[in-house]
Structure 1
Amino acid sequence: MIVTTANDDFDIVRHMLSLKVDDYLLKPVKQSILSDTIRKTLLVDEQGAVATREQRQTISDLMGGCDYPGWHTWLFGILDAACAQPMSDNDGAKRLTDVLELLLQHLAGLSDKYIPCRQKITDLIHSIHQHGLGVGRYWPVMVGLFNLSHAIFEQLFKSASGSMDFVARARFHIEKNLLNNMTLDDIAAEAFVSPCYLSRAFKKSTGSGFSSYITSRKINIARSLLQYSDLKVNTIALELSWQDANYFCRIFKKETGIAPSDYRRLASPEAG
């Protein structure tokens, strides 16, 4: 929205900005300036529409393919991008809630079995609106997204599991238990194959060993927690089911080349 007015009262200007007005032009306005402002506003609107279409398609593709790992990577990437914004900037929180609104719309077009999932989204959006996305909010919001994803993909799995090969089923159950301790035997039982056979096939299919794959997925979460949350290193280790914080630090350094405390110091938004 573009507003043109002959009134330059500061209170009116401030009120216009609070209404999310795109631009505020004081009369008389040169035709060239007005045309340029309209052109820029339309360009921003079109870019926003393209981004929304792409996000709708991503939601449809990831859910349609029951791609749990891809879903987490995409969703937590949006959370990270939102938290990378300055705390005084509400665009980050809006970016995340806009995606959650799109997800809510997508689920509304599916069966009633997703009603509990829709309620989780509504509650999460309300929480973000109320409390924002400050450092102390990253972990609670991430847990909310984990719980939401779990509820959605449990329903999707019921329909898709019959067409999934055992490696895909294994990756699904790894993602489902990403915050828990899990063993090859546990996941093999969920995939209905022997541990030995799963181990060989998993390496062939993913290019990564079973344990290395799980470690990599967990370390990705740890990176985000170090960068955007206020959780202590030993707490992060425990939340990711590493009971020994020293072992977690060794694994983290092996994967990233840097100790967790140094990673936090260099990667946190405040470091920039």
Structure 2
Amino acid sequence: MNVAERVALIEDELAAFREGLSVSDEAPDSVRLATARIHGSLFDPALTVTDIREDLSLTSTTFSARFRRHHGCTPACYIRRRRVEAAKSLLQYDDLTIADIAFHVGYEHYRTFARVFKRLTGRSPQAFREHRQSS
């Protein structure tokens, strides 16, 4: 698989992943807006909770409490979880390097991605890939 084919595969998988994300109508407006913005920019490494919060003109405490009440975790945690979920779907493809996957799901540094991935899954990305292949 050449570079263009790998990039197309990643972009297609991430677009499908993003399409599968939804925003509950039961959430308060601020949480719905924040969640929609997160979903729209999920794989952008420049995405920050501060920018989202400031766009909504909410204090950090208020925003975090509302978001946590609805999603069960902080906005930053929500972003990490969704990125790792997307990465897990990409790890099924042996032609994709873990560094490429990390970059495309929004991490500028492989080590940061690997640390977050292991914290959330209990396995390194490589161990996760190997386990998935043996299952």
Q: Which of 58, 63, 67 matches 1:198? A: 63
Instruction: Quote how far apart the aligned CAs of 1:195 are.
Output: 3.2
- The aligned runs of 1:208-223 (5 Å cut-off) are 208-223=73-88
Q: Which of 190, 201, 207 matches 2:72? A: 207
Moved over 3 A (4+): 135-138, 143-147, 189-192
**Bigger helix share:** 1
Per the normalisation by structure 2, the TM-score is 0.77
Instruction: Quote how far apart the aligned CAs of 1:146 are.
Output: 6.5
Q: Is contact 1:203-1:210 (8 Å) kept?
A: yes
The DSSP-based 3-state class of the residue aligned with 2:106 is coil
- 1:141 corresponds in structure 2 to 12
Give the Cα–Cα distance (whole angstroms) in 2 for the partners of residues 210 and 145 of structure 1: 22
Give the Cα–Cα distance (whole angstroms) in 2 for the partners of residues 143 and 256 of structure 1: 19
- The aligned runs of 1:78-117 (5 Å cut-off) are none
Q: Which of 184, 196, 208 matches 2:49? A: 184
Give the Cα–Cα distance (whole angstroms) in 2 for the partners of residues 222 and 230 of structure 1: 14
1:143–1:206 Cα change, 3 Å? closer
The DSSP-based 3-state class of the residue aligned with 1:227 is coil
1:237–1:190 Cα change, 3 Å? same
Larger RCO, structure (CA 8 Å, separation 6 or more): 2
Give CA-to-partner distance per residue, 1:170-193, whole Å, 9 cap, x none. 111111111112111211134343
Letter matched to residue 85 of structure 2: N
- Structure showing greater Rg: 1
Structure 2 unmatched runs, 5+: none
Letter matched to residue 12 of structure 2: V
Give the root-mean-square deviation of aligned CA atoms. Answer: 2.9
- 1:251 corresponds in structure 2 to 116
Letter matched to residue 217 of structure 1: R
Instruction: Quote how far apart the aligned CAs of 1:229 are.
Output: 5.7
1:267–1:178 Cα change, 3 Å? same
1:144–1:173 Cα change, 3 Å? closer
Give CA-to-partner distance per residue, 1:144-196, whole Å, 9 cap, x none. 5468x4xxx9xxxxxxxxx9610111111111111112111211134343333
The DSSP-based 3-state class of the residue aligned with 1:258 is coil
- 1:265 corresponds in structure 2 to 130
- 2:32 corresponds in structure 1 to 168
Letter matched to residue 166 of structure 1: S
Per the normalisation by structure 1, the TM-score is 0.41
